[in-house]
Amino acid sequence: MEKELRELIESYNPLKDAIGNRTRLYHDLNIYGDDAAELLSRFSELYGVDLSKFRFNDYFPNEGDWILPSILRLITLKPSKTYKELTVENLEKAIEAGYLE
Domain annotation for the chain: domains and CATH numbers: 3-97 (1.10.1200)
Q: Is there a contact between 83 and 61 (Cβ–Cβ < 8 Å)?
A: yes
More confident: 92 or 62 = 92
User: 39-88 pLDDT, tens per residue?
Assistant: 999 999 999 999 999 999 999 998 876 677 677 777 888 777 889 999 99
> What does the pLDDT read at residue 51?
98
| Residue 36, burial from CB neighbour count under 10 angstroms (0-12, 13-18, 19+) | buried
Q: Any alpha helices (H) in 1-101, and if so which ranges?
A: 3-11, 33-47, 56-59, 67-76, 88-97
User: 3-21 pLDDT, tens per residue?
Assistant: 899 999 999 987 767 899 9
Calculate the dihedral angle through the C-alpha atoms of 58, 14, 73, 56, rounding to the nearest 10 degrees: -10
Mean predicted lDDT score pLDDT of the chain: 90
